[in-house]
């Protein structure tokens, strides 16, 4: 599946224009309900299981699948412009663009009219994941999985280096200093000074987001508020210190490869081949870990800075919504609540491919069985609760472009993180408010 951070950045396509042709006539020409989603083959099988289970319950509602290409955001815009928008649409953190364009239906009236389902998600769902998709008073998407980040670590390399295994819960995490000491002890170099084993690598394709999570784990704020932000918090001292700590791992302490190191293997391969002791990524790489039978790994929360109040991940999540112009909205709602409710979430928990959003499934024997290689299962089951929101803004594409340019100077070591202060943050605030 396309990395969800690419999709967040891909909001540039969704935000490039705030006008599309009329959406009248969206949907297929048949009576079937159309469901648009992106998935790798194994993930598609899980969603097909959900569709098949729905068909057994509601044989009167036929569901047709529309699989996404490599750029789902642009594909949704193309569908909408052509009057062929699917009835049910998979969404990411970039959903607010589609709200502004009038593509997504507000689900609040459907939830309010369905008290049994409303009670279920209120009592069993993790509120922060639903809040991620709540924009300007409307609930436009229901979450189907949590996809936050954490650290995988190689137990064998820890033992060989004599480094004690890290804490395995969000409530008790390493400090920045403890994390750095471990990464230094786990980094190895040959006689010529070339690194043969890295203490830490980052498998996110957007290191500025990783650095921002470190900033938040030091008590800083990225954007304020996170949903529909009005200003950037990147000029705060706590955020700057955490961001700088992440940058220093490569440019100062040399326990991580530089982001520009073109000769290095991809970070996930460095880890799977035993050439890196810790890797920052998410649950979406769990299957890749299982594909290496002799890899003795476990997971741990992110470290906490001196001003942080506890270890946090990010609220990364995917969900599904309904096209505002669908002629089959009631049928679409029946499918959405089924797919995001107990039966759909059970398929998610059993698959081992996703982290469910309902607490009953997070803590189910099926979820534990699908993750038998992980000892610190609490890092996954507690992940949704211990997460900070990712910024959600219809202007995110342009904001992120400005943030990327500023971050690049810091991550390359060309400037300290205090570079964020003054004109940089002022410029980003202007972009955020649509004044540039």
* Confidence class for position 411, pLDDT limits 50, 70, 90: very high
Domain with CATH 3.40.190.10 in the chain: 4-147+316-362, 149-314
Q: Are 370 and 290 in contact (CB under 8 A)?
A: no
pLDDT of 330 higher than 90: yes
CA atoms within 13 A on the CB side of 120: 17
Q: Are 412 and 250 in contact (CB under 8 A)?
A: no
pLDDT of 358 higher than 70: yes
**pLDDT for position 16:** 36
pLDDT of 385 higher than 60: yes
Token pair in block for residue 42? 């194994």
Token pair in block for residue 251? 């440019």
pLDDT of 24 higher than 70: no
**pLDDT for position 31:** 85
Strands (E) in 8-130, as ranges, are 33-37, 63-67, 88-91
Mean pLDDT to the nearest integer, 185-201: 96
Collapsing DSSP to helix, strand or coil, 292 comes out as coil
Least confident of 21-35, 115-129, 275-289, 406-420: 21-35
Domain 149-314, architecture per CATH: 3-Layer(aba) Sandwich (3.40)
CATH (one of 3.40.50.300, 3.30.70.660, 3.40.190.10, 3.30.200.20) for 4-147+316-362: 3.40.190.10
Collapsing DSSP to helix, strand or coil, 86 comes out as coil
The reported pTM is: 0.91
Q: How far is CA 206 from the centre of its chain?
A: 12
Strands (E) in 124-264, as ranges, are 134-135, 138-139, 142-146, 149-154, 188-189, 195-197, 201-202, 223-224, 231-232
Q: Are 377 and 371 in contact (CB under 8 A)?
A: yes
Q: How many CB atoms lie within 10 A of CB 200?
A: 27
Peptide bond into 68 cis (omega under 30): no
Mean pLDDT to the nearest integer, 10-22: 37
DSSP for residue 285: G
What is the rounded distance in angstroms from the CA atom of residue 102 to the CA atom of residue 144?
22
Collapsing DSSP to helix, strand or coil, 151 comes out as strand
Whole-number average pLDDT of the chain? 91
pLDDT of 39 higher than 80: yes
* Confidence class for position 432, pLDDT limits 50, 70, 90: very high
pLDDT of 8 higher than 60: no
pLDDT of 4 higher than 80: no
User: Is the torsion defined by CA of 281, 395, 244, 221 positive or negative?
Assistant: negative
* Confidence class for position 12, pLDDT limits 50, 70, 90: very low
What is the rounded distance in angstroms from the CA atom of residue 156 to the CA atom of residue 158?
5
* Confidence class for position 261, pLDDT limits 50, 70, 90: low
pLDDT of 394 higher than 80: yes
Q: Are 76 and 89 in contact (CB under 8 A)?
A: yes
Nearest-CA neighbor of 245 among 178, 310, 294, 196?
Answer: 178
Residue for token digits 């280096």? 161
């Amino acid at each position: 599946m396309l990395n969800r951070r690419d999709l967040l950045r891909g909001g540039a396509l969704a935000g490039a224009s705030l006008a599309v042709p009329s959406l009248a006539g969206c949907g297929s020409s048949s009576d079937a309900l159309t469901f648009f989603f992106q998935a790798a083959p194994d993930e598609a099988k899980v969603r097909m299981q959900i569709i098949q289970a729905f068909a057994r319950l509601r044989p009167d509602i036929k569901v047709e699948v529309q699989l996404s290409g490599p750029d789902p955001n642009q594909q949704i815009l193309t569908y909408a412009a052509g009057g062929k928008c699917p009835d049910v649409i998979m969404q990411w953190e970039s959903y607010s663009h589609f709200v502004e364009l009038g593509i997504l239906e507000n689900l609040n009236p459907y939830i309010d009219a369905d008290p049994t389902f409303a009670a279920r998600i209120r009592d069993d769902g993790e509120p922060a994941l639903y809040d991620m998709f709540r924009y300007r008073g409307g609930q436009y998407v229901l979450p189907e999985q949590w996809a936050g980040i954490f650290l995988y670590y190689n137990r064998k390399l820890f033992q060989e280096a004599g480094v004690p295994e890290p804490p395995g819960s969000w409530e008790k995490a390493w400090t920045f200093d403890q994390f750095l000491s471990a990464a230094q002890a786990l980094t190895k170099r040959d006689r010529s000074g070339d690194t043969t084993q890295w203490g830490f690598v980052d498998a996110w394709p957007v290191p500025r987001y990783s650095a921002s999570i470190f900033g938040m784990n030091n008590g800083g704020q990225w954007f304020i508020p996170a949903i529909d932000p009005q200003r950037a918090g990147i000029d705060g001292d706590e955020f700057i210190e955490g961001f700088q700590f992440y940058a220093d791992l490569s440019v100062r302490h040399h326990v991580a490869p530089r982001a520009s190191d073109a000769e290095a293997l991809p970070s996930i391969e460095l880890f799977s081949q035993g050439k890196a002791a810790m890797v920052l990524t998410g649950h979406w790489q769990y299957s890749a870990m299982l594909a290496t039978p002799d890899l003795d790994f476990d997971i741990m929360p992110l470290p906490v800075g001196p001003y942080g109040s506890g270890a946090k991940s990010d609220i990364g999540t995917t969900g599904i919504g309904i096209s505002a112009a669908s002629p089959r909205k009631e049928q679409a709602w029946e499918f959405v609540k089924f797919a995001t409710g107990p039966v759909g979430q059970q398929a998610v928990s059993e698959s081992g491919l996703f982290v469910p959003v309902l607490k009953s499934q997070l803590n189910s024997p099926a979820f534990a069985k699908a993750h038998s290689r992980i000892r610190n299962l609490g890092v996954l089951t507690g992940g949704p609760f211990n997460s900070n929101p990712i910024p959600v803004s219809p202007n995110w594409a342009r904001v992120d472009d400005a943030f990327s340019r500023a971050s690049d100077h810091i991550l390359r070591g060309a400037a300290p993180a205090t570079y964020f202060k003054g004109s940089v943050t002022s410029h980003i605030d202007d972009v955020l408010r649509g004044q540039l």
